Amino acid sequence: MSFRSFLTSLPLLWHCATAFPAGPGYFPNNHSSPVSEVFASAAFSLIDTYDSSNWLSKFDVQAIGDPTHGFVNYVNQQQAQQQGLIRMQNNQVYMGVDTTKVLNPNGVGRDSVRIQSKKAYTHGLVIADFAHIPGSNCGAWPAFWMVGPNWPNQGELDIIEGVNLNTYNQVTLHSSAGCVPTVGPGGQSGHPIGNADCGASGGFVGCGVESNSAVSYGTSFNANGGGVYAALWTGSAIKVWYFASRDVPANIRNGNPDPNSWGQPQANFAGCNFDAKFTNMNIIFDITFCGDWAGAVWGSSSCAGVNPSCNAYVASQPQSFGDTYWLVNSVKVYSV
């Protein structure tokens, strides 16, 4: 379905806090990587570490058209490295966008990177440690997320996502119809947005939870010293926590994570048959511009006061995206 026809069919866009998908995954020949082993034990065993020592051997750099119709040009690995859009520095992984070229707003979009893990997972505890995430900039739409093949039938979990000048993170599930989560035991600190059914409207809107923390996303996250996002995905629940760097639990730092000790999560999805709706999901990082979300809400944001066109703004203001980058200490995946 085109985004235009989707908008026409959508009865409500809520206070610019829409929950559009970060985008279907890209699986050559419609095949994904083998699913990782699932453990029934309540203990958490480290099964994968992604960091500066192995990043490009464990992720594919995807030079593809943007599924979310953004004003972006995803470059290949060689181009990304030549332009410095992906690089290893001080034992951290930098992934950013072009900040020098003035572009034709009707032409190819701004150079950026999109990466997808070679490995896929069913269930797991994903803990991502960030020194910096893309700042809150007009036109920008970054995401750290997981997605299965044959979208939306094998699900999507958006762990970090936002657009334009937002500073409140949004966690969203997208699925086929029939996943209507409740709030799990212990509650959640965030508030629900979007549809009750994660698969309503073809899965495009999803069921989201917006953080109540003004430092959970973008520029404010970085000014607060970075931090950790942890996503726990089991057959009975999907939960996401955010910790400012100074507040990261010791059991995360020492490699023995204990979610039972972490307090209330930002998002706490329960009551859905997650095993039927979410499976074989890969990890993705990307930064796009405008498109189905940032572009769709542009006119109702303060950004429109600077330029009435999202694409024109992004094309003409390369210097505005100097802090539109990920700086990752590590991503660790534990079995559950």
Handedness of CA 256, 236, 199, 196 (dihedral sign): negative
The residue to which tokens 């009975």 are assigned? 236
Active site (annotated) includes residue 210:
no
Select which of 156, 158, 286, 292 is catalytic: 156
Distance CA 288, CA 144 (A): 12
Token digits of residue 147: 């997605």
The number of CA neighbours under 13 Å toward the Cβ of 266 is: 29
**Single-letter amino acid code for the residue at 166:** N
Token digits of residue 217: 């996303």
Distance CA 159, CA 146 (A): 8
Handedness of CA 177, 7, 182, 129 (dihedral sign): positive
Q: Which residues pair with 117 in a beta bridge?
A: 59
Select which of 48, 161, 197, 292 is catalytic: 161
Distance CA 292, CA 4 (A): 9
Token digits of residue 319: 């210097």
Q: Which residues pair with 335 in a beta bridge?
A: 45
Active site (annotated) includes residue 37:
no
What positions carry a catalytic annotation?
A: 156, 161
